[in-house]
Amino acid sequence: MKSISLNISIEQYQNINELNETDAMLCNMAEQALASSYSPYSKFRVGTAVRLKTGETILGSNQENLAYPSGLCAERVALFSIGSAYPNAVIEAMAITAQTDAFEILKPVTSCGGCLQVMAEFERKQASPIAVIFYCLNGEVLKVPSIKSLLPFAFVEDRLEK
């Protein structure tokens, strides 16, 4: 038997004012994306902003559907938009935030497992890390340098590409 330990690096900030200007702007754009959330059932709005290497930012928001689970998370809305409109784009970073009128969100909301796997696929495809920023409105911010920090055992099978 062999014991293996995994260590991840997470930067923690009290609020977006501690971030550099580029990352703070990305968080503000994720907050703007909340406005296009279609979440009449959960009333839990999620917004994502994805910064491309070109400097362009693509927004995404969660889109629910009465026929659960036909909706789509904000992260996948943004990433699939990039995949179809900018298939060769390189993603530098993405910011994710959430809001609800039902209660106060006190900590950053993280991505679901399905979104993490899609994020890992984009990172694998571009062969460079994607920084992820989880932003709590008016509160704490968490930043990781790569999807691998969030999903170290992402499904990867290189033989499927052949």
Strand-pair category, 131-135 with 141-144:
antiparallel
Would you say 55 and 93 are in contact if contact means Cβ atoms under 8 Å apart? no
Strand-pair category, 91-100 with 131-135:
parallel
133 phi and psi angles, rounded to 5 deg: -120, 120
Let me know if 75 is a catalytic residue: yes
Out of 75, 121, 123, 140, the active site residue is: 75
| Element spanning 126, H or E | helix 113-126
Active site residues: 75
